[in-house]
Amino acid sequence: MNSLKLSSLLVASLLATSQVSAQTATGAGAGAATKAAVGSMWEVEVPVAIVSVAVIAALHSGNGGSTVSPTVLANTATSANAAATNATAANTAISSAISALQTAATNANVGNDSRVTAAAQVATAAVAAAVAAAANAAAAASDVAAAANVPVVGVMNAGRQICAAANSCTKAELTGLQFKAADAAKKASEAATYAENLTIAFKNVLLSVAPGANVAAAEASLAAARTAAAAAQTASNQAKADYEAALAALGTTGTVIAATTGTTGTTGTR
């Protein structure tokens, strides 16, 4: 069975740890409702181990070993974590926009209009799902980083069993973890974009019901969300590329991941 083994002389220089904190502010209206929907997911702290030195690991096969850099294996973790971080920032801004729109609706005396409340509920549910997707992407990124250094970190990572053996990961396990991280990054990016677009749709419904509603605060938050969601998209596409590079380094194949276009779930116009 193939396994990733690191020279004991280099172990001490392998591991650097960074902390990712995905925290969204609790606000009135949609912010509070969304926090209630996802519970502890609203405040996520996921430790991510990042390989930061140029060290070569031997991936041994029955016919001898090829060499695979831990950095190559951990690159997917870095880009997937970047996607999760930016998606979290987008989700925070989206939640703020929803809260601002609900306040604007109340001030315009249309807070109880069925069209407005329905649009608010859909947007709130979407951002709750996006929060969970970003947390999942951060966790998957952490698993990839840990798997690249199993002799140091071990089989368990944040309470999750990442590889079957106590001190090594097979090619199949590494391939699966790489895929999970890249795929989760894509989903986190798309979920943030979807929530953003549904919040834009909420804004448009509000303005159709109350053309004079003040949506300036919501627009500012949506602009921030747009920037962060775009960064998440870029990072998720990088995670896809890093996943493919890792597969090539491992000399194996894996499930194909489509590029993130940023158009998933597009609803409404800005």
pLDDT above 90 covers what percent of the chain? 57
CA dihedral in degrees (127, 196, 243, 156; nearest 10)? -20
Greater pLDDT, 86 or 263:
86
Tokens coding 95: 């939640």
Residues 218 and 101: beta-carbon distance below 8 Å = yes
**pLDDT number for residue 126:** 98
Least confident piece of the model among 79-93, 117-131, 141-155: 141-155
**Confidence bin at 262 (pLDDT 50/70/90):** low
Question: pTM for the whole thing?
Answer: 0.73
Least confident piece of the model among 108-112, 135-139, 148-152: 148-152
Map tokens 């250094």 to a residue. 149
Break the chain into its structural domains and give their ranges.
3-250
- Computed from CA positions of residues 108, 112, 117, 118, in that sequence, does the dihedral angle turn out positive or negative? negative
